Structure 1
Amino acid sequence: MEYTLFTKLAAEFVGTALLMVFGNGSVANVELSKTKGHHAGWINIAMGYGFGVMFPVLMFGGVSGAHVNPAMTLAQAVNGMFPWSEVLPYIVAQLLGALAGQLIVYVTYLPHYASTTEPEAILATFCTTDAEDSRFNYFINEFFGTFILVLGALCALSDPWGAKNPAAASIVVGFIVWGLVTSMGGPTGPGLNPARDLMPRLLHAILPIEHKGTSRWKEAWIPVVAPIVGAIAGAWLFKLLFA
């Protein structure tokens, strides 16, 4: 079945919003004061992001491809796997979806934002930073993380077994994200998705949170540019060797 562009964009919007709810929601549960999951640990966050990708791909993979990530959309377009005419609408839908999803996280955790006094904990629920405060390390981590994510996702969804059973492939993609957060997430988070970092960072700057501190805009270009470059490289390698 061929869906209209509007339906595809709705899928990208809702899918990206769900990614934020599950992903950044899990961070809020761990980092903010007085939550029932306070200090639950990194595995809780990794699961949240894994499910945050798995469920949108299961729900909308057959509708829009469930990119839910501007880096994935651009990578496929650059490598001739996605029409350029749909790139801008997809990215706008993803950005707005990330904004909506982060607003849901903020509203549902509002009392806990009010009771949290550590700026780093608050910022972590919105966007990424580098643990060593190294921009070079920040870029390298986001580049390779997104490279592996895009290569793995395209292989899983396009290989004969994945094309035959897209639900199983979607679950594998979720586990790829889960694995990446547990293995490569220590330095930066990770982001692996420009929409997942940029729009929540914008909200962090705007929302009236008492102890939020700085939004760290001087490094905000890194989790936007590095995932895009990494995704393009991952899609290129997939097309070169496995498509």
Structure 2
Amino acid sequence: MSSLDIFTGETIGTAVLILLGGGVCAAVTLKRSKAFNAGWVAITFGWGFAVLTGAYISAGLSGAHLNPAVTVGLAIKGATPWGDLPVYFAGQLLGAMIGALLVWATYAGQFRDHLTSAEAVELKSANPGQVHGVFFTSPEIRNSVQNLATEVIATVVLVLAILTQSTIPGVSPDSPKGPGVLGAMITAFVVVGIGLSLGGPTGYAINPVRDLGPRIVHALLPLPNKGGSDWGYAWIPVVGPLLGGAIAGGIYQLAFA
């Protein structure tokens, strides 16, 4: 596949991933949304379906990585050339920012109503801000070691589940450009499982651009009383998943290659 195919596929696929994933967070978080307070289960399934949709859309162009941690794991496995990593990363980050902008555009009225309420005005200096969960993750208990370990562990599960699909007869097509129909479904349900089981401590970024791209957009958007973008925590959902992807690649080489 060409660099243009990779960049285009990853940009579009990641944009859809963040649009639907951030969209379910907005739907549950913003008070004038019909899904307000739908809860954690709705969020976890929403993110799973977001992965599924983004993967199906982009698989034919770029292989549907949609996540730098996945790209690193596939490079260590030997399935992705190391020279392609910058193109994958650039498309993924751009797509994540586009997706976050589309979430804002879709819920513009709800953001405005939510952030001009008396509570939001009173807490306008909060860090992270009032609607941060729509854009980026934050921990329930701030402990850098624990938070980093949580992101590493959850990402190892995700990436190892993706890397080992090729070892299961019938899951991956003979000449795959992407994960294949069954592989994409398995990955989506793995994401749901991670959210339900391991997402409680940090909000399970498990994808550096899922967190960084929307965090940049949150910092730039002219949202009233939005509060801070919590840049002091931002390195953990970037470094943790990248480490997790690398560890998953190493486990694959040791145990499955």
TM-score, normalised relative to structure 2: 0.89
Shift of 1:154: 1.5
Residue identity matched to 2:210: R
Shift of 1:79: 4.3
- The ranges of structure 1 where at least 4 consecutive aligned residues each deviate by more than 6 angstroms after the TM superposition are none
Shift of 1:157: 4.7
Percent of aligned pairs with the same residue?
36
Aligned runs of 1:1-243 on 2, under 5 Å? 3-117=1-115, 118=120, 120-164=129-173, 166-243=180-257
Matches of 2:39 and 2:45 in 1, distance apart? 11
Deviations 1:139-194 (A, max 9, x none): 11111110100001122255322124921121011000011111111111110001
Shift of 1:132: 1.1
**Kept after mapping to 2: 8 A contact 1:128/1:190:** yes
Matches of 2:44 and 2:193 in 1, distance apart? 8
**Kept after mapping to 2: 8 A contact 1:140/1:226:** yes
Deviates more, 1:67-76 or 1:122-131: 67-76
Structure 2 unmatched runs, 5+: 121-125, 175-179
Larger C-alpha radius of gyration, 1 or 2?
2
**Kept after mapping to 2: 8 A contact 1:156/1:173:** no
Matches of 2:77 and 2:60 in 1, distance apart? 21
**Kept after mapping to 2: 8 A contact 1:11/1:63:** yes
Matches of 1:154 and 1:111 in 2, distance apart? 41
Shift of 1:121: 4.3
Question: RMSD between aligned alpha carbons?
Answer: 1.6
Deviations 1:43-80 (A, max 9, x none): 11111110111122223334322110112112322443
